[in-house]
Amino acid sequence: MAVPVQKNFIRGPNLEMVRRPSAEGWICSFEAYKLASDRNRVLASNKRMSKAIIETDEWLSIRKMFPLWTGTMTAYVEPNTSFINSKLFSRNDNVLVYVDPDTSERWLFPLSNVPVGCVNEPTVSCLDAPNVILVTEHPLYSLEKVNGKDIIVTPQKVVGLSGFPTKNG
């Protein structure tokens, strides 16, 4: 049985494929987000997809969709660098700015909702410490395309994890 997540978003017990009406070529992550959101579906998280691929044979039912986008949205900067000392950080706007080299789209991740401490090490500052990754999951964020090239990621909930990247991947 499907479970309502937020408003009218649905997360079901089984993976389900969502495709564009015309299945011509691959879609970008923004299109995947829009398709799922427009259909009131939750994009599966990285954790959920790992379970489907590694722990079960559930992936066989969706193998035609690989490669695919998940609903896990992350923000991180150069190794051994904190967010506030990164070249990706805009002090004026308190936002991380990543420019996609293929599309020239600017992905803007505001840091206003970032918690003070990391979930795995509460005494470690999410913004001041190096090697932290910020994580949010669909539908707990929204994406908005503005000016044709800017995509604003607005998380309702975001967590910080220290120790990124780890040596075991």
The residues, ordered by sequence, that sit 6+ positions from 75 with a Cβ below 8 Å of its Cβ are 96, 98, 109, 133, 134, 153
**Strand segments (E) across the chain:** 3-4, 10-11, 72-75, 89-90, 95-99, 106-110, 132-137, 141-146, 150-155, 159-162
The more confidently predicted of residues 149 and 18 is 149
Radius of gyration (C-alpha) of the chain in whole angstroms: 17
Helix (H, G, I), strand (E, B) or coil at 31: helix
User: End-to-end distance of the chain based on CA atoms, in angstroms?
Assistant: 34
DSSP 44: P
Strand order of the β-sheet with 72-75 is: 72-75, 132-137, 159-162
Give CA–CA dist 121/88, Å, rounded.
24
The residues, ordered by sequence, that sit 6+ positions from 150 with a Cβ below 8 Å of its Cβ are 105, 106, 108
The pTM of this model reads 0.76
Query: Percentage of the chain with pLDDT > 90?
Result: 44
Which tens digits make up the pLDDT trace of 27-53?
777 887 888 888 788 777 778 777 777
